[in-house]
Amino acid sequence: MKHNSRYVVLAMAALLFGVVSCQQEELRQQETKSMGRIVLSSSDIAVFTSDVVTRATLDNYSGYVFTLNGTTVDGWTVQDSVITFTNNAAIIEAGTYRLSANNDAASAPTTGNGCANYRGQSGEFSLSIGGTTTVTIGSDLTPLTPQNTVLTVDSTSTFSTYYTDVCLTLSGGGRTIAIGKAGDYDEAYFPAGTALTYTLTAHARRDKHLTDISTTSRALPVTLVAGKHYTLSLTLDPESLTPGEIVPIISGTHTGEFD
């Protein structure tokens, strides 16, 4: 009798384990069935320059953060869910979305010269249960738009005749960056609207019998506009041989990233 009771208990335990296992498997299947897969179309993202849309390769979205922003799906709102793409694909709950992308963190270092900063979002798309949807971030209608400005320094032929080893130190937004032939970088990125100051150093050429340049801090006479590439051209009055003000010249060329 005791043996029979033991078998009954074991049998009930096995049955209960089987029921729990089936329930867990059913839940897993339901979870799987409720999901879908979104795939980024390519490593090329349409980006905006002041009057044209072009394409720039963004190195497989390195440094980009993707979010599903505030879209209501059957009464459920996605609350800025950050998603991760593996091999340009991600598994998310089925529904209707807009996918946003930005590289804000990568483009705004506390040190260094920074990089181009873009933000944008896809058009609205629907993802079916168990389905796959290809999503394009950026298009002719919804391009990623630049959020910062790039600055480079150049010298007029007159200035270069008398001075060499130019270094322009830009300060603003809690960062200080030296650009130019004697600087640490060739270019520097700053958020649009940042108020910049600068100092300039340059060595006089030996045969010109002039003194080296070392200016005090001055305000940069330009308001930084998003997506613009400013060339800061150093000028010199050959009559007085006094270094003139830095003249910001907006480049008219399109590099595929910035105007």
The pLDDT of 193-208, averaged and rounded, is: 94
**Does residue 54 surpass a pLDDT of 60?**
no
Q: What is the pLDDT of residue 21?
A: 43
pLDDT per position as a tens digit, 82-115: 888 887 788 888 888 888 888 888 777 777 888 8
Tell me the one-letter amino acid at 46: A
Q: What is the pLDDT of residue 199?
A: 95
Helix, strand, coil fractions of the chain, as percent rounded to 5: 15, 45, 40
Among 58-62, 87-91, 208-212, 218-222, the least confident range: 58-62
Distance CA 82, CA 77 (A): 14
pTM flag (> 0.75) = no
Show me where the domains of the chain are located.
36-146, 148-250
First CA to last CA across the chain, in angstroms? 90
- Hey, what long-range contacts does 66-74 have (CB within 8 A, 24 or more apart)? 66/90, 66/99, 66/100, 66/101, 66/137, 67/99, 67/100, 67/101, 68/92, 68/97, 68/98, 68/99, 68/100, 69/98, 69/100, 69/121, 71/95, 71/96, 71/97, 71/98, 71/124, 73/97
- Model confidence at 22, in pLDDT bands (50, 70, 90)? very low
**Does residue 118 surpass a pLDDT of 50?**
yes
pLDDT per position as a tens digit, 166-182: 999 999 999 999 999 99
The pLDDT of 38-58, averaged and rounded, is: 54
Q: What is the pLDDT of residue 124?
A: 83
